[in-house]
Structure 1
Amino acid sequence: MPSSLSRRAFLGGSLALGATGLLAACGGGTSSGQGGGSGSWSFTDDTGNTVSLDRRPTRIAGLNDAIASLWNYGIVPVASFGYTALADDVNFEGKDTSRVTEVGTTYGQIDVEALVAQKPDVIVTHAYPVSTSGKLDPEKPLYGFNDLEQQKLVGEIAPIIAIAMAGSATQVVSRTVELAKSLGVTDETLAKPKQDYEAARDRLRKVAAKDLTLMAVAAYPSEGVHIAKAQDDPALRSYVELGLSYPDPGGTDYYWRAVSWENITDHRTDVVLYSLRAMDGKAMLDQPTFAQLPAAKAEQVYPWEFSSMDYVAQARTIDNLAANLEKARKVT
């Protein structure tokens, strides 16, 4: 792993091209699924691209993170791709993943022939910004694609819709809701999940009154600790809006501040949250310098969960975070 770890590398893992390029079986951008609404359908995504179809799409494929949200609202996808198998993704726990054709289980690897066979109406994914400003770079591929060539190839199967993972999670959740509603999800379906989401946010807001300081990290034995910058991560930014404190680790790089194990003691917080896609808390405590941190001594080292941007997943993650912080105390 390079010392200048990018968010794309952290969330997606290694990149490799797996598309085959055979599109002969593709029947254009739409297909004859069941249950589609009558009349035309359109949606403008966060890249400014408007997708217009003759009917509401019913066969949805896409990035694990994006389709997980739609599934939580009742829309079962026909195909998935992403950085891992669905069975290994916490966002799909309790779901019958045999109903979905997995056309890619490693970042950037997509079996185009298998995707064609599922005849998707649309393909949904995320777009990540390239700086704190939230700007999207059209010269960079959308999340989940190895490169622009692969993205173009997949876009010939069905139109691609991208939701930007920028700003606060509250905005991303709202945009995902807009997409879900355009696909037929009703306010009645959304009512209880939204209520649970707001209740979880209220719980975290109350915990924030404890005035704890937090640090979210991805740590690696040979590379040290990458400290996330809360303003660059939608979920962390939304927690700050609720009153949590993630001190700025400094540095000029986007999203991360890379710190050696020797220098991690310069970053003292009451709580450390560790990425589930890097070293776990126990392994980090085996590092002598990390073990000297106030949070480590107080055993206030908890998971940093990445969950899909919808009411259901965010409520679960926020509740888990609040439960851990309710046990924590100020130690700095």
Structure 2
Amino acid sequence: MASTLSRRTVLGGLALTATGLLAACGGGSRQATSGSGAWSFTDDTGRTAELDRRPTRIAGLNDAIASLWNYGVVPVASFGYTALEDDVNFEGRDVSKVTQVGRTYGEIDVEALAAQQPDLILTHAYPVDSSGKLDAAKPLYGFKDLKQQETVAAIAPIVALAMRGSATGVVARTAEFASAVGVSRATLDGHRKDYDAARQRLRKATGSGLTAMAVAAYPAEGVHIAKAVDDPALRSYTELGLKYPDPGGDAYYWQQVSWENIGEHRTDVVLYSLRAMTGKELLEQPTFARLPAAAAGQVFPWEFSAMDYVAQARTIDRLAANLEKSRKVT
């Protein structure tokens, strides 16, 4: 990862985190038991959260609880990179229903969180390299440090879902957790139909062989080109036929390119982070403006959306719509 730039910061606010080395979607037994008796769930760090009943009061990271809300589970408290009203994943939601105990990364009002009496706290874990390795010496995403994480864990068990591999796996894992906390199979299956339809639309849109790159650009730093293999959403797009050239370099997730050298990376489409320079600002950079995608007006938003059927269907549909109106220019 380049300098202090974090994945979530530019995708809508991401970062690296957390615990244990596990395989693509986590390791070991991950069954959840529920009903009138005990409930348990083994997360992607290998830790098992155990309660005497199914959790109903769930707090957690904005990115994660957005998915639960999309499935009908309203969280009791939130923390994250931004306030909920500034997070696109909560557009149209009455965020007054949620107690926001953290509106800046790593700043969590522990007393306010405890006052909401959560049964469970949901967050994400990010790998430290392309192998998908999680590092137990690093805090889970959303926490300033391990001490803060331990303090929060004393309030309620923490469940972490890993943001690695393909988005298809992460979305399925999120649905698995949603089912464990009581979301009906009928609800999940209904939303999955829309998700599958959006994926088919994107597969058709990539049939013309369009190439793309996703970037986060800053005036003083140049352009950070994301590596599709390291980003779950981008990886899932390539599985549907989107051609995504490897930007090179040995660094995890990003290849940093100077403004002078951005012309070496020519694609039909450029996707720009919503947390970095805007499309308009990019086009004001002379070297970027000479890229084929820029000259053709094929510069579109790169959206970070929650890893659930609802949010992903919406984002994939928007991407497909942009690709449908694009053409080969390289």
| Cα pair 2:61 2:80 within 8 Å, conserved | yes
After TM superposition, give the deviation of residue 8 of structure 1 in Å: 5.3
After TM superposition, give the deviation of residue 95 of structure 1 in Å: 1.0
- Cα separation, partners in 2 of 1:152 and 1:170, compared to 1, 3 Å: same
| Cα pair 1:60 1:77 within 8 Å, conserved | yes
- Which runs of structure 2 are paired with 1:41-80 in the superposition (5 Å)? 41-80=39-78
Inter-partner Cα distance in structure 2 for 1:302 and 1:2? 23
What is the aligned partner in structure 2 of residue 157 from structure 1? 155
After TM superposition, give the deviation of residue 73 of structure 1 in Å: 0.4
Q: Residue 5 of structure 1 aligns to which amino acid in structure 2? A: L
What is the aligned partner in structure 1 of residue 84 from structure 2? 86
Q: Residue 168 of structure 1 aligns to which amino acid in structure 2? A: S
| Cα pair 2:279 2:300 within 8 Å, conserved | yes
User: Is 1:327 paired with 2:317?
Assistant: no
Q: 1:196 aligns with which of 194, 197, 207?
A: 194
- Cα separation, partners in 2 of 1:14 and 1:222, compared to 1, 3 Å: farther
Q: Residue 5 of structure 2 aligns to which amino acid in structure 1? A: L
User: Is 1:7 paired with 2:14?
Assistant: no
Q: Residue 202 of structure 2 aligns to which amino acid in structure 1? A: L
User: Is 1:131 paired with 2:132?
Assistant: no
Inter-partner Cα distance in structure 1 for 2:54 and 2:252? 38
What is the aligned partner in structure 2 of residue 296 from structure 1? 294
Inter-partner Cα distance in structure 1 for 2:322 and 2:14? 31
Q: 1:205 aligns with which of 203, 206, 229?
A: 203
Secondary structure (helix, strand or coil) at the match of 1:178 reads helix
What TM-score do you get using the length of structure 2 for normalisation? 0.92
Identity within the alignment, %: 74
Q: Residue 58 of structure 2 aligns to which amino acid in structure 1? A: I
Q: 2:179 aligns with which of 173, 181, 188?
A: 181
Inter-partner Cα distance in structure 2 for 1:285 and 1:302? 12
Secondary structure (helix, strand or coil) at the match of 2:318 reads helix
| Cα pair 2:6 2:14 within 8 Å, conserved | no
- Cα separation, partners in 2 of 1:11 and 1:291, compared to 1, 3 Å: closer
What is the aligned partner in structure 2 of residue 244 from structure 1? 242
Inter-partner Cα distance in structure 2 for 1:61 and 1:272? 36
Secondary structure (helix, strand or coil) at the match of 2:234 reads helix
Inter-partner Cα distance in structure 2 for 1:319 and 1:11? 17
For residues 240-278 of structure 1, give each alpha carbon's deviation from its aligned partner in whole angstroms, at most 9, with x where no partner exists: 111111100000000000001111001000000000011
Inter-partner Cα distance in structure 1 for 2:79 and 2:45? 20
Inter-partner Cα distance in structure 1 for 2:203 and 2:256? 29
Inter-partner Cα distance in structure 2 for 1:185 and 1:13? 27
Q: Residue 302 of structure 2 aligns to which amino acid in structure 1? A: W
Inter-partner Cα distance in structure 2 for 1:74 and 1:64? 15
RMSD: 1.6
For residues 24-52 of structure 1, give each alpha carbon's deviation from its aligned partner in whole angstroms, at most 9, with x where no partner exists: xxxxxxxxxxxx94111000000000111
| Cα pair 1:61 1:124 within 8 Å, conserved | yes
What is the aligned partner in structure 2 of residue 19 from structure 1? none
What TM-score do you get using the length of structure 1 for normalisation? 0.91
Inter-partner Cα distance in structure 2 for 1:56 and 1:254? 38
| Cα pair 1:71 1:77 within 8 Å, conserved | yes
What is the aligned partner in structure 2 of residue 33 from structure 1? none
| Cα pair 1:14 1:107 within 8 Å, conserved | no
Q: Residue 108 of structure 1 aligns to which amino acid in structure 2? A: G
After TM superposition, give the deviation of residue 115 of structure 1 in Å: 0.2
Secondary structure (helix, strand or coil) at the match of 2:289 reads helix
Unmatched tracts of structure 1, length 5 or more: 16-35
Q: Residue 123 of structure 1 aligns to which amino acid in structure 2? A: I
What is the aligned partner in structure 2 of residue 216 from structure 1? 214
Inter-partner Cα distance in structure 1 for 2:148 and 2:232? 27
Q: Residue 44 of structure 2 aligns to which amino acid in structure 1? A: D
What is the aligned partner in structure 2 of residue 259 from structure 1? 257
Secondary structure (helix, strand or coil) at the match of 2:56 reads coil
- Cα separation, partners in 2 of 1:185 and 1:114, compared to 1, 3 Å: same
Give the aligned length: 312
- Cα separation, partners in 2 of 1:76 and 1:11, compared to 1, 3 Å: same
| Cα pair 1:12 1:107 within 8 Å, conserved | no
Inter-partner Cα distance in structure 2 for 1:224 and 1:150? 34
For residues 104-139 of structure 1, give each alpha carbon's deviation from its aligned partner in whole angstroms, at most 9, with x where no partner exists: 011111000100100000000000000000010011
| Cα pair 2:127 2:133 within 8 Å, conserved | yes
Inter-partner Cα distance in structure 1 for 2:135 and 2:14? 21
